[in-house]
Every structure is written in structure tokens, then in C-alpha cells.
Structure 1
Amino acid sequence: MRRTLNSAASVLLTRYNSTVSRGRPGMPKKQTAKGRGKLEEKVGANAAPIVQDSPVTQSKDGSILVAIHAKPGAKANAITDVTAETVGVQIAAPPMEGEANAELCRYLAGVLEVKKSAVSLERGAKSREKTVRVDTPGTTIDAVLHRIKAAI
């Protein structure tokens, strides 16, 4: 009887090992480092260079997006710094009921010399990390970045 249990267990173990080594049906095989490198080479060779040293980018629809690190509750509105990731902006409004967000849009419209209606909050309504959209035809990333840096 003991021999029967061992042989049945060995049969099950053999079946399990062969299933595991083949992988589960429908599951993709793991890529090796060599396979991933080929994919990166293809993408890297055909892709256009991406500039990520600026907090100002352009969206697919042509509007300009500005990454903002807001500092509400300051004494006066001011742009404090421009880094590779964000533009630091002090806002002279409390962070309550959207007052700081509205003041941020008004202040940026004045700095960028565009209409107030052209500047809107894209994301980050309850966060210090915000994205502001500038919808003005003909505005370029360089022009927006130049005006922001001039306001420091």
C-alpha cells in the first residue's frame, strides 16, 4: 500500500512539474534581458527626442501645460523658482474653497500676458502639485517659459 501512494504521488508530482515548466496556457512568457533590450533599441532608434528639462510642456491638443508647486497663504503673489520639474508660485490667498486656485490662475494670466479665461486649472485642485492649462493660439513653450523666468 505504501508503494501505491508513493507511485501516485510521483505521478502527480511529475504532471505538476511538467505543467509548471511549460507555463500556464494563455499566459505570456517572461522576457529575458536580451529580449527587452531589443525592444528598447527599436523604440529608442525611431522615437523623437523628448525634452524633460522644463516644467512647461505642450499637450496633444496644442495647449500649453505648466507644472506648478503652489504655496498658498503667502503675503504676496510671486514666482519663487523654476526647476526642471515645477514652477514654484506663492499665492496670496488661503487654500480654502478654491480661493488659492482662482488667484493662481489670475496671477499666471497676468504674468503670461493672456486673458484670464485662457488660464485654467487642469489637475491638482486639492494638492500643492498642480497643472495649469494655457489655451491661447500661437503661444509657444519657449514664450511661456521666458515670461515665467522674467517674473522671478
Structure 2
Amino acid sequence: MSKNKGKGKATSKAGEATTPPVSNTPVTLDKSGNIAIKILAKPGAKQNGITDIGLEGVGVQIAAPPTEGEANAELVKFLSKALGLRKSDVSLDKGSRSRNKIILISKGVTTVEAIEQSLRKESKYLLFFMLYLSMRSSNLITLSI
């Protein structure tokens, strides 16, 4: 009987060691060393952009329809460009048919902090651009090129 007790304890400890810690950010490091980003996709938008960054995920609007994987491909392309990474380093892990997705960044390419900073920067850019467009459409400012 002592063999069974020993095995039961070992499995219990091993199970506890593999449980991922609860995170309060949508960007985390997974057990394989890859960076995982929780995404709340909004396909069918006029332009690509990050709409918000919250605890439940990064809101990303995608300028592609949610059919035949077009929005997923556009999401990977947009995020790789926004984060300054190669497309081969960015992949869709979960949620190919859902608006809730998990994007993986290859191990060793960058850090969680760098990803968070790039996402915040891209989010601010979109907010300023939208403000500019709204002001321009109401004739508050003009742009001469």
C-alpha cells in the first residue's frame, strides 16, 4: 500500500506544478516559454487596429470578413507588423472559429514586457488616428499635402 500512496503524492505534486498561475494581463508566458496573447477579435472592421487592452484580452479590429480564415490570416499579419516580428514567429494557437483567440509568439523572440509596450503604443496610435478623422470630418482641422 505504501507504493500507491507514494505514487498518488507524486502525481498530485506534478499536477500542481503544471497548473499555470492566474494572470491579470492578457499577455503571458506559457509553460513552453512562448508568449501567449489573449485576443478579442472584431472582424469586418474598416481598418485594422487595437481598440482596447483589458484583463480579458486585447481588442483587435480586423479589416477582413470572418470567412474561410481570412480574418485569422489578417490578424496574424497585423499583429506581426504591429509588434515588429516576422509572420513566422506569430501563430494562432486557439480560437480559429471564435472571437476569443490565443496568439502565440515564438519562444526567445522577444519579452512579455516588449509585447505589452508595443500593444499599448499601437493602441494609442489608433486612438489618435480616430480622433484626427473625427476632427477632420467635422472640419475642425484641415490637412494640406
Q: Same fold (TM over 0.5)?
A: yes
Give aligned pairs, total: 106
Identify which range, 137-146 or 93-102, moves more after superposition: 137-146
Deviations 1:96-141 (A, max 9, x none): 0000000000000001100011110000000000000011524111
Contact persistence 2:33–2:107 (CA under 8 A) = no
Aligned-pair CA distance for 1:53 = 1.4
Residue 30 (structure 2) pairs with residue 69 (structure 1): no
The amino acid that maps onto 1:115 is: R
Aligned-pair CA distance for 1:84 = 1.1
Identify which range, 128-137 or 65-74, moves more after superposition: 128-137
Instruction: State how 1:101-120 maps to structure 2 within 5 Å.
Output: 101-120=72-91
2:29 maps to what in 1? 58
Q: Any gaps of 5 or more consecutive residues in structure 2? A: 1-15, 124-145
Q: Any gaps of 5 or more consecutive residues in structure 1? A: 1-42, 44-49
Residue 57 (structure 2) pairs with residue 86 (structure 1): yes
Residue 91 (structure 2) pairs with residue 134 (structure 1): no
Cα distance in 1 for partners of 2:73, 2:42 equals 13
Cα distance in 2 for partners of 1:65, 1:103 equals 18
2:70 to 99, 104, 114: 99
SS of 2:110's equivalent?
coil
Cα distance change, pair 57–136 in 1 and its aligned pair in 2 (3 A): same
SS of 1:102's equivalent?
helix
TM-score after normalising by structure 2: 0.69
Deviations 1:33-58 (A, max 9, x none): xxxxxxxxxx9xxxxxx462100011
Aligned-pair CA distance for 1:61 = 1.2
1:121 maps to what in 2? 92
SS of 1:151's equivalent?
helix
The amino acid that maps onto 2:96 is: A
SS of 2:28's equivalent?
strand
Runs of 4 or more consecutive aligned structure 1 residues displaced over 6 Å after TM superposition:
none
Cα distance in 2 for partners of 1:148, 1:51 equals 21
Cα distance in 1 for partners of 2:69, 2:107 equals 23
